[in-house]
């Protein structure tokens, strides 16, 4: 089966005793490809995951594609404050739930573009996130999006573990 890489994520080099986390991944397809080198790893995906020996195991020299729920929506407006409220266009679906972590992309000024902030409240047309934006003004949202984001955590099966992570699109078999 062929895959196309949508975005690369930082490589993890976890130890056998301490779980390590990736940078936040602003989901585009929800297909997370995890591969290991000469030693296996235990893998967990979530908002702030910790991998344990009870997590999903990826054997040595193996590749797994794991599916995550995607949520992505165009932003119609942003209200600044001690928490930040993101509005969607009228009749636009709100795919986010309380507890999701989200990333704002392509808004202006640059300081409003957040990475991996918790959703604390939702309505049919808004999302409130845990981000203090009181110092920002003149917010521009043309072409901006709000995306659900996750992190990948890995725990090494032994010393020298390497875990490569990327988001892909699965294509048809050739």
- pLDDT tens track for 6-38: 999 999 999 888 999 999 999 999 999 999 999
Does the pLDDT value for residue 174 go beyond 60?
A: no
Q: What is the pLDDT of residue 16?
A: 87
Q: Which two tokens stand for residue 75?
A: 């932003």
pLDDT over 90 percentage in the chain: 86
The span from the CA of 62 to the CA of 133, in Å, is 43
The span from the CA of 125 to the CA of 148, in Å, is 16
- pLDDT tens track for 136-165: 999 999 999 999 999 999 999 888 899 999
User: Rounded to a whole number, what is the distance in angstroms from the first to the last CA of the chain?
Assistant: 7
Q: pTM to 2 decimals?
A: 0.90
**For 92-103, what is the mean pLDDT?**
96
Domains of the chain plus CATH, in order, are: 3-69+150-170 (2.60.120), 72-149 (2.40.30.270)
**For 88-100, what is the mean pLDDT?**
93
- pLDDT tens track for 120-137: 999 999 999 999 999 999
In the block, tokens 């090494």 appear at: 156
Q: Which two tokens stand for residue 162?
A: 């390497």
Going by C-beta distance under 8 Å and a sequence separation of 6 or more, which residues neighbour residue 162? 11, 12, 13, 36, 37, 38, 39
């Amino acid at each position: 089966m062929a895959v196309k890489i949508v975005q690369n994520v930082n490589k993890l080099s976890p130890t056998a005793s301490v779980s390590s986390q990736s940078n936040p991944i602003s989901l585009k397809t929800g297909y997370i490809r995890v591969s290991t080198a000469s030693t296996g790893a235990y893998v967990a995906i979530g908002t702030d995951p910790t991998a344990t020996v009870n997590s999903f195991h990826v054997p040595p020299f193996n590749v797994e594609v794991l599916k995550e729920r995607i949520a992505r929506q165009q932003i119609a407006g942003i209200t600044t404050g001690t928490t930040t409220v993101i509005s969607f266009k009228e009749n636009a679906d709100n795919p986010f739930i309380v507890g999701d972590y989200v990333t704002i992309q392509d808004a202006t000024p640059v300081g409003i573009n957040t990475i991996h902030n918790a959703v604390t409240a939702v309505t049919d047309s808004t999302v409130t996130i845990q981000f203090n934006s009181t110092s920002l003004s003149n917010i521009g949202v043309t072409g901006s999006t709000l995306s659900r984001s996750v992190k990948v955590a890995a725990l090494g099966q032994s010393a020298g573990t390497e875990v490569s992570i990327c988001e892909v699109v699965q294509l048809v078999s050739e």
